[in-house]
Amino acid sequence: MSIDRSQRGLALISALLIVSLAGVLGAARMFALQLETQASRALIGSAQARLLALGIEELAAEILAEDALSSDTDHYGEPWFRGLGDMNVGPMRIQGTMEDMQGRFNLNNLVTPQGTPDMIAVDQFRRLLRVLQLDETLAYRALDWMDADNLPQPSVGAEDEAYTRLAPPYQAPNRPMEDVSELLAVEGVDAETWRALSPHVTALPVTGTPIAVNVNTATVEVLQSLAEYPDPARAQRWRERQLSGGMTDLGEVQSALPSQMAGRVSLSSNWFALRLAVNGDGTRFYLTSLLDRSRGQVQARWRRQGLPPEAWLAPVEG
């Protein structure tokens, strides 16, 4: 009798165990299914977001192409700057900014196509660093990073011998920068320097003639870097003109600057960075496209997904 009861008890416990195990397995399967559903939804969402971003890029390219037909100068009063903003497409919210990259100093100006120093650009970069209250000698280490030789600039440069001592070791690439974030690998560039400098510099994929600074879009600091003795009042005056039609007489700008800088300034631009953030339906997608208008039509020279390494900053407030 007692044996029977204990056997029944064991059978009951086994049955309960099986039921609870089945429950656990069922829940695990349900969880896996939910994950799969979420993953597919995210995949579809990110594919949609990417297509949407590419569509907006095409629209931005059209705005830039139309702008080239209707104006000889580029400033912050124009549709390429004012036209993008917040847009809603279905469940997706798109935030877009377009920045003129010629409003920044092009680090790749530091070297000629032959890999030799461009001293006019080195001096300009040195002045930009000074205006930003950063170490001026960084200009020479940035030059060493890109110039063809492996000979450090006297006393302040840095070539392989500086970088191969690091852990992990690396070498100076001795070619123009592919991305402005390469600056972070140059000796002496810490996070604080990067934060201060990155809104004012770019690295454009061009060799040949140096890329001019567009005084109609340049930051106040870049405007001040154009002359050996910064003139903050003049920089501020030019900056204010950027929002009200821009400067229209290049000769007037050139005559206010040292003669060697005449070829380093312009009133128009060919290089623009489009930054897009697409949000919605559980998806977050970022795209940065570099748009090149120098060849008569507008082309994306590169596209990068994810948050850009430079600060997410619009060049002008308001």
For Ca ion, the binding residue among 57, 100, 118, 147 (CB under 5 A) is 147
- As given in the structure block, the two tokens for residue 47 are 């594919």
In angstroms, give the least distance from the CB of 80 to Ca ion: 7
In angstroms, give the least distance from the CB of 74 to Ca ion: 4
Q: Report yes or no: 214 and 103 within 8 Å, Cβ to Cβ.
A: yes
- As given in the structure block, the two tokens for residue 140 are 């020479």
In angstroms, give the least distance from the CB of 138 to Ca ion: 15
Cβ proximity to Ca ion, 69 vs 191, nearer residue: 69
Q: What are phi and psi of 87, to 5 degrees?
A: -130, 150
Q: What angle do CA 213, 259, 207 make, to 5 degrees?
A: 45
Cβ proximity to Ca ion, 162 vs 257, nearer residue: 162
Contacts with Ca ion by CB under 5 A: the residue count is 8
187 sits near Ca ion (criterion: CB under 5 A): no
- Helix then strand then coil, in percent of the chain rounded to 5, is 45, 15, 35
For Ca ion, the binding residue among 46, 71, 97, 153 (CB under 5 A) is 71
Residue showing the smallest CB distance to Ca ion in the complex: 71
- As given in the structure block, the two tokens for residue 214 are 């567009």
Helices (H) and strands (E) in the chain, counts: 9, 9
For Ca ion, the binding residue among 174, 207, 279, 294 (CB under 5 A) is 174
User: Which residues share a beta bridge with 94?
Assistant: 87, 278
Say how many C-beta atoms besides its own lie within 10 A of residue 109's C-beta: 25
For Ca ion, the binding residue among 57, 67, 99, 221 (CB under 5 A) is 67
For Ca ion, the binding residue among 48, 49, 53, 74 (CB under 5 A) is 74
Q: How far apart are CA 271 and CA 117, in angstroms?
A: 23
In angstroms, give the least distance from the CB of 310 to Ca ion: 23
Residues within window 210-269 making contact with Ca ion, judged by CB under 5 A: none
At which residue do the structure tokens 């629209």 appear? 59
Q: Which stretch binds Ca ion (CB under 5 A): 57-65, 76-84, 185-193, 288-296?
A: 76-84
Binding residues for Ca ion (CB under 5 A): 67, 71, 74, 78, 144, 147, 172, 174
